[in-house]
């Protein structure tokens, strides 16, 4: 049994690679909130979707992530493709199209802030809403991206930053409709109609709850300085 995003999760007949990814999340056995079974059909689908050939065990881990992402919205949670970290008790998500350099920019923030910054998940954090809670929480997951950044923790998600490459380094606040357009491409949109409708509801909540930013940055070593000042030293 594994405790991920404060859900008890059971993965049936899991292979060694997925077991290794999930190991830090292992918990004492209990009643599963979510049960995931990867079928041969799921594996076949991942094989078709993958750009490069991968082992069966790797494909199983991707399929398990997808199956989870299909179910999560029905439990007030969803997968946000982003790098999430915490600074001074505030969670920040960096979202960007792949290849933009969100991890590079995260590393600039890490260099600037040192121990004050904790990476929660570098690639596929889950975001979960709770009744009565002012902010959603972003959680570490076993799927940490190729840089393998992240832990098993959580953070109250207060800032969503969309990263773009540009000449100067700055952060500007975005309006909800501007952020919505950028957000759609970074959220896992389920095939399941109930989950998809719920995802749209959760996105509306996210846009109403979090501060929304566009960070323009270059690759300079001090690229984090100005955006950090704008977001945290208001």
Partner 1 sequence: MKLKYEFVTNEVAGKTVAVAVGDSLEAFGGYIKLNETGAFIFSLLKNEISREEIVNAVRGEYEVEKERAEEKVDEFLAYLASFGVI
Question: Which residues form the interface with partner 1 (CB under 8 A)?
Answer: 176-177, 179-180, 184, 189-193, 196-197, 199-201, 203-204, 207
- Say if residues 129 and 136 touch (Cβ distance below 8 Å): yes
CB of 107 to partner 1, least distance (A): 31
Which helix (H) or strand (E) is 58 found in, with range?
Answer: helix 56-71
Tell me the two tokens of residue 204: 């509306």
Least distance in Å: CB of 147 to partner 1? 27
For partner 1, which is the closer residue by CB, 171 or 203?
203
Q: Which tokens hold the place of 4?
A: 């991920």
Using the minimum distance from each CB to partner 1, give the nearer residue, 19 or 75. 75
**161 or 224: CB nearest partner 1:** 161
Q: Which is nearer to partner 1, 84 or 179 (CB)?
A: 179
Residue with smaller CB distance to partner 1, 41 or 146? 41
What contacts 13, CB < 8 A, 6 or more positions away? 37, 38
Q: Cα(114)–Cα(111) distance, rounded to whole angstroms?
A: 6
45 touches 63 (CB < 8 A):
yes
Which residues, 6 or more positions from 131, have their beta carbon under 8 angstroms from its beta carbon? Answer: none
First to last CA, the chain: 43
Shortest distance, CB of residue 183 to partner 1, whole angstroms?
Answer: 9
In the complex, least distance from residue 208 CB atom to partner 1, rounded to whole angstroms: 9
Minimum distance from residue 186 beta carbon to partner 1 (Å): 12
């Amino acid at each position: 049994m594994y405790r991920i995003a404060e859900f008890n999760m059971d993965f049936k007949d899991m292979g060694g690679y997925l077991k290794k990814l999930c190991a830090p999340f292992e918990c004492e056995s209990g009643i599963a909130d979510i049960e995931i079974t990867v079928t041969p059909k799921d594996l076949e689908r991942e094989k078709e979707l993958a750009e490069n050939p991968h082992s069966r065990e790797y494909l199983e881990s991707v399929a398990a992530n997808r199956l989870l992402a299909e179910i999560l919205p029905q439990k007030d949670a969803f997968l946000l493709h982003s790098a999430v970290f915490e600074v001074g008790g505030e969670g920040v998500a960096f979202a960007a199209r792949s290849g933009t350099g969100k991890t590079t920019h995260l590393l600039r923030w890490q260099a600037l802030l040192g121990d004050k910054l904790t990476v929660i998940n570098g690639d596929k954090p889950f975001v979960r809403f709770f009744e009565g809670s002012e902010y959603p929480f972003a959680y570490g997951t076993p799927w940490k991206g190729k840089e393998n950044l992240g832990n098993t923790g959580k953070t109250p998600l207060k800032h969503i930053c969309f990263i773009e490459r540009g000449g100067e380094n700055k952060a500007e606040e975005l309006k909800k409709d501007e952020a919505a357009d950028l957000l759609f491409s970074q959220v896992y949109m389920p095939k399941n109609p109930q989950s998809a409708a719920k995802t749209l509801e959760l996105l509306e909540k996210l846009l109403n709850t979090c501060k929304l930013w566009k960070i323009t940055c270059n690759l300079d070593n001090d690229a984090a300085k100005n955006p950090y000042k704008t977001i945290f030293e208001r």
